Amino acid sequence: MSWSRRLAALLPRTVAEDSGGTEPDARFTFANERTFLAWSRTALALVVAGLAIVQLLPPFPGVPVGRPLLGLPSFGALGRDAVGDSVHPVDRLQVGARWRAMLEDGVPLDLEAARRAFRPVADALGVSIEEAAAGAYDLINVSMATGVRDITVRRGLDPRDFPVVVAGGAGPLHAAAIAAELEVALLLVPRESSIFCAAGMLMCDFQHDAVRALKAPLAELDPAEVGRTLEELAAEGRETLHGEGVGDAAISFTASLDLRYAGQWHELEVALPWEPGEAPDLSAMTARFDAEHDRTFGYSSPGDTIECLALRLSARGATEKPDLGEMDEMSSGAPAPVSRRPTWSARGRAMVDTPVYDGHGLGAGFEVSGPAIVELATTTIVVPEGFDLLVDRRGSFVLAAGERGRKLAEDLLGRLHSVG
């Protein structure tokens, strides 16, 4: 079982339950809430578009705030010999990310250029350059936290019940601040977070999805006809996977139906029990749809007519997964910081002296309490006050907030390691 699947199977899940009764129809209430969310997202998108225009286009006369506001590609954060401007001055000012050691043989990064980029913002607001950058940093983090809420709370999930897996080169710079905003107690930062998505491709199976229109009331579907269509789609998927070098023993299929209550404008994909050579079990679909609708929207309407819109089949070809291996335990004596430098403290709202560690020299079992900085060739991990960082057996960095975070980390890592 891959690491990502083990993680998905072990993470706690919380689903809100809100079934309708004799009060105003739940579907009407939820439709209004979805409309409000749509308006909110549209408004947010327009604001972001406006900020992007200000950030990405040359500065307009009389407009002192240029691209550095959100830490997007900035004016002059690189040295004069650089080709293009691509360093985030927000992160550079807030974290003081190492600007020469990582690029000793390449392009030197210029902290003073980042300060110059933020000086017009600071002057316009009447604050220090660091405070102006802190405001932009907070804006970025709150915006991303809002995005997390949008994909969890609207589905009845509490983000506090989930750890956050951090990906991307800039992700570890913002992750702890986002977690604090969401009251999330546990963060997992893969050692190679900057290529986490690409590395995930090595853990994925081949998959090809097919769909056929099938509009009819669920109760009127003919199992034999549905079975024949599934066999046709399975034959096409099997042929495609054979062309990719996948043998029959590694091929599996997953069928599903797109269903909705009569009169609704949205549908849900619900798994359909089926095996090649057998008739699909359509009798189970009514209960499955009611349960999925309740899980997704917080209510269901047993007894209402259910419509089918489409039949789907996924053909999956299992691939050999790479062995991620494990790290050696830390030898006696904790590694000393490689340097110290001032970084921004969200709690103290000031720059504080912070130890900096070379992440490549940290083995399994290493622990440090914030504030601290861990640097790798492709990212920088910020460990603010209130967070502890530890390195697990796979080399990932685990950030835990307070006693609750420590307990969650011990429990989750213990279960992950127990399954290999």
pLDDT tens digits, one per residue of 6-54: 444 444 442 222 223 333 333 333 344 444 455 555 666 666 566 555 5
Where helices occur in 19-128 by DSSP H, the ranges are: 26-56, 89-95, 111-125
pLDDT over 70 (residue 224): yes
What value does the mean pLDDT of the chain take?
77
pLDDT-derived band at 106, boundaries 50, 70, 90 = low
Segment 79-97 mean pLDDT: 45
Assigned CATH for 206-317: 3.30.1490
pLDDT of residue 202: 80
Helix (H, G, I), strand (E, B) or coil at 259: strand
0.75 exceeded by pTM: no
What's the pLDDT at 232? 96
pLDDT at 394: 82
d(CA 163, CA 181): 14
Using alpha carbons, select from 384, 361, 362, 380 the residue that is nearest to residue 372.
384
Contact 315, 243 (CB under 8 A): no
Largest CA-CA distance found in the chain, in angstroms, rounded: 74
Chain centroid offset of residue 386 CA: 22
Q: What is the dihedral of CA 358, 364, 365, 370, to 10 degrees?
A: 30
Q: Where are the domains of the chain?
A: 179-194+326-418, 206-317
pLDDT tens-digit map of 361-372: 888 889 999 899
Cα(76)–Cα(107) distance, integer angstroms? 13
Q: How, if at all, do strands 206-217 and 186-189 pair?
A: unpaired
